[in-house]
A and B are shown apart, each in its own frame.
Chain A
Amino acid sequence: MSRLKNILTKAKVKLMYLVAVLLIVLIPLLFFGFGSGLTEKLGKKIPIKEGTFDSKTGSLKLTKPSR
């Protein structure tokens, strides 16, 4: 039992190191993603619209035609 626990602990430690290394690799990929149009692709899947703001008062109008 204790041997199994030991193996699991070691596996967990190795997994965490792997995650930490992958997070470093993610950083350049993230910045490349901005130039590749990935932002537009993913963004279009999120249902949010730009607000319409009154040009005289600057306040938000709640009615808005779809984008």
Chain B
Amino acid sequence: MPKKPLVNSHSRPTTIFLTGLMFIFLAFMILGQFQKSPKMMAAGGAYLIFLTVLTYLIYRTGRVSRYRSIFFSVYAIGFALNFIPALLETRGHIALTTQDISKLDTPLCHLTIPMLILPGIVYGLLIFPTKLFANMGFFPMLFLWLGATLSLGKGWCSWGCFYGGFDEFFSKLLPKRMLSSKKFNYSWRWFPFALLGVVVIWAFLALEPVYCGWLCPFKAVTEFIKPVNWLIWVQTGIFISLFLGFVVGLPLLMKRRTQCGLFCPFGAFQSFAGLINPHRVRVDKEKCNQCGACTDQCPTFSITKETLAKNRVSISCTRCGRCMEVCPREAIQYSLLGVPLRKGSEGSSGGRRFLKEVFRPDTLFIFGALLFGSIISSGMVAQSMLRIVHLFQTGSFLLR
């Protein structure tokens, strides 16, 4: 018996149209920025082909999570392979010194944004050591986050965040789950919200971005403060342990994104901020029989028995699409706020079906999310490709 198409799959003509449209958008955006460098143009071209193939596969098969996962992992690896060598080229070292801090020589990370708001409003002061208008300074990052929040909402965590791909990557490495989540207490999914409250208040009182100093595991793949006293050694031990635990170990064993689902306070912040975006994931109560397949597979613990009983997903849902792949009854769909859920297939007549498929909520969300993620990742991934070639040619990752 032929396999039933998935809820997000599209007919071949629609897929070809959407893939072509994505190719045009991306060619314009990616190749346009690399005009001055033939090498970057070639690397960008290779990445463009990769993205075009992924777009086709996502739309044609409807396996959004599977192919998004490949994109997201490549993005994270490209980020790590580029960020540290770029720091070495510009600053000469990775570990931050007090001189670097006083020169405001630190790229801003979006994870700090919730901690900057209160001191910014009350004191009119930026408590993170970065420049206001530098390339990866405060305002570019702030506007990037605002744009992402408007266009992706909470989908940022599965399509745009350059850290999310790390635990995604590790969660896909082993074929089987080594640590069952049957006895897992789903109340832990509220921990990021509690941590968000703590770090926001703590940062305001201490006037420093405390999450970065004490807890951020991603210092392991970016930069960290040079350990010069016992306190910084303790902080170093904490971030390495958190990285090994939440980003590597638990995702490997549980096949879930534990850092994003159980720890990241920015993810919790984005759960609220992302509500301004109209895209949602909804459960059709007429189709859902509460089988729990989605609960078992949701990477960020965003569907529980309780939410399913109310025909909802949790506010922390990152729009990754995994639940839609595993639901045997097509009961979970991407949807738009205030728009009724799709009830059946689009019918078989050509033009009408094409239009209906193009203007489906899942089509529009995936297009925007993949477009955003592709543009933001293109520079990092293309540059990292050049670095890998350079490594084979000269033995060094550094281009300068």
- Tell me if B207 counts as interface (CB < 8 A to partner A): yes
Residues of A in contact (CB 8 Å), total 38
Cα–Cα distance between A54 and B97 once the two chains are bound (Å): 11
Q: Which of A20, A31, A59 contacts B375 (CB 8 A)?
A: A31
Given contacts A26-B147, A27-B375, contact A39 B338 (CB under 8 A): no
CB distance from A25 to the nearest CB of B (A): 9
User: Using Cβ atoms and an 8 Å threshold, which residues of chain B touch A28?
Assistant: 25, 28-29, 371, 375
Contact check, B278 vs A16: say whether CB atoms are below 8 A apart.
yes
CB distance from B214 to the nearest CB of A (A): 14
Q: Which of A33, A42, A47, A50 has the most chain B CB within a 10 Å cutoff?
A: A50
- Tell me if A62 counts as interface (CB < 8 A to partner B): yes
Contact check, B139 vs A54: say whether CB atoms are below 8 A apart.
no
Cα–Cα distance between A12 and B338 once the two chains are bound (Å): 7
- Per-residue CB contact flags for chain A residues 42-58 toward chain B (1 = under 8 Å, else 0) read 11001111111111111
Within 8 A of B (CB), among A2-51: 12-13, 16-17, 19-21, 23-24, 26-28, 30-31, 33-34, 39-40, 42-43, 46-51
- B226: nearest residue on chain A (CB-CB)? A58
User: Using Cβ atoms and an 8 Å threshold, which residues of chain B touch A59?
Assistant: 208
- A19: nearest residue on chain B (CB-CB)? B278
Q: Which of B28, B225, B338 contacts A58 (CB 8 A)?
A: B225
Given contacts A17-B339, A24-B364, A55-B102, contact A60 B120 (CB under 8 A): no
User: Using Cβ atoms and an 8 Å threshold, which residues of chain B touch A24?
Assistant: 151, 364, 367-368, 371
- B372: nearest residue on chain A (CB-CB)? A27
Contact check, A16 vs B337: say whether CB atoms are below 8 A apart.
yes
Contact check, B338 vs A13: say whether CB atoms are below 8 A apart.
yes
Contact check, A20 vs B133: say whether CB atoms are below 8 A apart.
no
Contact check, A42 vs B143: say whether CB atoms are below 8 A apart.
yes
Residues of B in contact (CB 8 Å), total 50
Contact check, A67 vs B132: say whether CB atoms are below 8 A apart.
yes
CB distance from B180 to the nearest CB of A (A): 39
Cα–Cα distance between A49 and B123 once the two chains are bound (Å): 9
Cα–Cα distance between A17 and B118 once the two chains are bound (Å): 35
CB distance from A33 to the nearest CB of B (A): 7
Q: Which of B104, B133, B361 contacts A53 (CB 8 A)?
A: B104
Cα–Cα distance between A53 and B120 once the two chains are bound (Å): 16
Cα–Cα distance between A16 and B340 once the two chains are bound (Å): 11
User: Using Cβ atoms and an 8 Å threshold, which residues of chain A touch B147?
Assistant: 26-27, 30
Cα–Cα distance between A48 and B137 once the two chains are bound (Å): 13
User: Using Cβ atoms and an 8 Å threshold, which residues of chain A touch B340?
Assistant: 13
User: Using Cβ atoms and an 8 Å threshold, which residues of chain A touch B364?
Assistant: 17, 20-21, 24
Contact check, B98 vs A58: say whether CB atoms are below 8 A apart.
yes
Cα–Cα distance between A12 and B278 once the two chains are bound (Å): 12
- B101: nearest residue on chain A (CB-CB)? A58
User: Using Cβ atoms and an 8 Å threshold, which residues of chain A touch B102?
Assistant: 52-55, 58
CB distance from B365 to the nearest CB of A (A): 7
Contact check, A26 vs B151: say whether CB atoms are below 8 A apart.
yes
- Tell me if B126 counts as interface (CB < 8 A to partner A): yes
Contact check, A51 vs B129: say whether CB atoms are below 8 A apart.
yes
Within 8 A of A (CB), among B118-132: 120, 123-132
Cα–Cα distance between A46 and B339 once the two chains are bound (Å): 36
Contact check, A23 vs B132: say whether CB atoms are below 8 A apart.
no
CB distance from A21 to the nearest CB of B (A): 7
Selected A-B contacts with CB under 8 Å, 21 pairs: A17-B339, A17-B359, A20-B365, A23-B150, A24-B364, A24-B367, A27-B368, A27-B371, A28-B25, A28-B371, A28-B375, A30-B151, A42-B143, A47-B124, A48-B124, A50-B126, A51-B104, A54-B102, A58-B102, A62-B207, A67-B132
Q: A17-B336, A58-B98 are in contact. List 17 more A-B contacts (CB 8 A).
A: A16-B278, A20-B278, A23-B151, A24-B364, A26-B150, A28-B28, A34-B140, A39-B139, A39-B143, A40-B139, A46-B139, A48-B132, A50-B138, A51-B125, A53-B104, A60-B207, A62-B123
A contact set with B: CB distance below 8 Å = 12-13, 16-17, 19-21, 23-24, 26-28, 30-31, 33-34, 39-40, 42-43, 46-60, 62, 64, 67
